[in-house]
């Protein structure tokens, strides 16, 4: 994981102290997912509140083709092995 910093953004100094963006990167440098903690940015501007306080929001983004790239590399193109690895995990709420 590495923080994503954009110097042209106004809260640059605050971002360096309290990173809000994270990028998840594969071993070969491909970005496969991002998270972004908005804090109260949208809660204040859109008047979204919880118990009278501005709501904190966040988001996550990922590219399925990027995850396939990583799986293809990890399993040397053996898609049956990749499928077996992914499906070997129990689904939330499934019986043990």
In a domain, 93, yes or no: no
d(C-alpha 64, C-alpha 3), whole Å: 21
In a domain, 56, yes or no: yes
- Its domain, for residue 9, covers 2-77
In a domain, 16, yes or no: yes
Number of domains in the chain: 1
In a domain, 70, yes or no: yes
Query: Which of 69, 64, 59, 60 has its CA nearest to residue 30?
Result: 69
In a domain, 82, yes or no: no
pLDDT tens digits, one per residue of 65-86: 999 999 999 999 999 999 999 9
pLDDT tens digits, one per residue of 26-49: 999 999 999 999 888 899 999 999
Find where tokens 């491909």 sit. Answer: 30
In a domain, 73, yes or no: yes
**Predicted TM-score (pTM) above 0.85:** no
């Amino acid at each position: 994981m590495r923080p994503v910093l954009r110097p042209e953004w106004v809260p640059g100094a605050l971002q360096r102290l309290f990173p809000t963006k994270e990028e998840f990167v594969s071993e070969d440098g491909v970005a496969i997912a991002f998270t972004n903690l908005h804090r109260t940015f949208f809660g204040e501007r859109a008047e979204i509140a919880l118990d009278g306080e501005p709501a904190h929001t966040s988001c996550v983004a990922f590219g399925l083709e990027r995850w396939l790239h990583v799986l293809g590399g990890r399993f040397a193109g053996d898609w049956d092995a990749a499928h077996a690895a992914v499906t070997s995990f129990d689904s939330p709420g499934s019986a043990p």
